[in-house]
């Protein structure tokens, strides 16, 4: 019906906006601009909303060790996914409601993981992000009080490797397998369709792979700081490249069922490109000014 379609379109629009806010956090958190700039303020705001959740400060309540801060951030995201999943399916599973099937539970879990993926991936790989300092000691990007060569970071790395394989790589691989199988099973296999509907329901049926393209965008953006450590120019160029490809893809394929959401996604990507360029320029200028001041 028209009401159902309108509700689905609004839900998709909300998902597009939330995904854009998550990307904005990635763009501003890895390369914080000077505190006095508007972008620096935006980065602080996004960090408080999307990362630190100022109401729940795990870094404060669990101690100041790297392990506590690292696992608290990832654990918070996973806890939110688990709580949302339980809120949606817990009652049915507890009372064995026949309306709650395993397939619908898997679909809900996939929906939540795809929504939180970029934040979870960024939280996992931040342990690999190091930056050089004038004193010659490399420190972690998000935790500058921890040296990259320290035993504290070395103790966390094995767990980070496992999380990278399980979450950062495992989630895209699982979704890729589902999309690969979709042409022969979608709408023909009722159980498969119900389990994987989160990947396809907001897109045109002939663009069934579009959800995977968005996940690939999140994957690339979350790993940019790891691929180009300490290079603001290369990070900014890569962000702009990924977002440009995303805009062109959206305009050419028009993957969403709603024209409004195609337009919304393209416009938000354009704003994110501006954010990446502006924030990159501010960080580069502030770094050059700091180096000049130190040399003088």
Q: Alpha-carbon distance 279 to 232, whole Å?
A: 10
Mean pLDDT of 248-267: 93
Residue 40 lies in a domain: no
Instruction: Give per-residue pLDDT as tens, 39-70.
Output: 544 544 445 444 444 344 444 544 578 998 89
Residue 43 lies in a domain: no
Report pTM.
Answer: 0.79
Residue 34 lies in a domain: no
Instruction: Give per-residue pLDDT as tens, 174-206.
Output: 999 999 999 888 878 888 888 888 899 889 888
> Residue 242 is part of which domain span?
2-28+59-283
Residue 37 lies in a domain: no
Mean pLDDT of 65-86: 87
Residue 213 lies in a domain: yes
Residue 44 lies in a domain: no
Residue 294 lies in a domain: no
Rg of the Cα trace of the chain?
21
C-alpha distances out from residue 130 to 141, 145, 153, 154, 265, Å: 5, 11, 11, 13, 32
Count of domains forming the chain: 1
pLDDT of residue 10: 86
DSSP state of 189: S
Q: How would DSSP label each residue in 142-176?
A: S-TTSBTTSHHHHHHHHHHHHHIIIIIIHHHHHHH
Q: Say if residues 124 and 168 touch (Cβ distance below 8 Å).
A: yes
Instruction: Please choose, from the candidates 182, 205, 208, the residue with its C-alpha nearest in 3D space to the C-alpha of residue 193.
Output: 182
Instruction: Give per-residue pLDDT as tens, 211-243.
Output: 999 999 999 998 888 888 878 889 999 999 999
Q: Alpha-carbon distance 21 to 224, whole Å?
A: 17
C-alpha distances out from residue 146 to 66, 74, 134, Å: 7, 18, 15
Q: Alpha-carbon distance 232 to 67, whole Å?
A: 27
Q: Say if residues 51 and 24 touch (Cβ distance below 8 Å).
A: no
Residue 143 lies in a domain: yes
């Amino acid at each position: 019906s028209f009401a159902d379609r309108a509700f689905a379109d609004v839900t998709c629009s909300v998902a597009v906006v939330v995904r854009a806010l998550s990307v904005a956090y990635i763009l501003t958190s890895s390369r914080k601009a000077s505190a006095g700039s508007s972008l620096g303020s935006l980065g602080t705001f996004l960090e408080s909303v999307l990362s630190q959740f100022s109401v729940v400060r795990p870094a404060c309540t669990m101690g100041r060790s790297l392990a506590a801060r690292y696992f608290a951030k990832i654990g918070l995201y996973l806890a939110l996914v688990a709580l949302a999943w339980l809120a949606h399916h817990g009652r049915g599973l507890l009372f064995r409601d026949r309306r709650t099937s395993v397939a619908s539970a898997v679909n809900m879990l996939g929906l939540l993981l795809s929504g939180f993926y970029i934040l979870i991936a960024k939280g996992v790989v931040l342990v690999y992000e190091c930056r050089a300092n004038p004193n010659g000691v490399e420190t972690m990007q998000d935790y500058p009080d921890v040296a990259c060569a320290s035993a504290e970071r070395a103790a966390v790395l094995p767990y980070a490797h496992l999380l990278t394989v399980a979450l950062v790589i495992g989630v895209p691989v699982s979704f890729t397998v589902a999309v690969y199988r979709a042409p022969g099973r979608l709408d023909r296999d009722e159980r498969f369709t119900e389990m994987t509907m989160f990947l396809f329901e907001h897109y045109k049926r002939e663009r069934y792979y579009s959800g995977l393209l968005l996940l690939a965008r999140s994957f690339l953006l979350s790993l940019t700081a790891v691929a180009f450590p300490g290079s603001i120019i290369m990070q900014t160029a890569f962000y702009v490249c990924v977002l440009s490809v995303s805009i062109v893809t959206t305009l050419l394929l028009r993957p969403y069922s709603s024209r409004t959401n195609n337009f919304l996604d393209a416009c938000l990507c354009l704003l994110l490109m501006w954010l990446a360029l502006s924030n990159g320029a501010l960080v580069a200028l502030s770094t050059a000014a700091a180096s000049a001041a130190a040399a003088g």
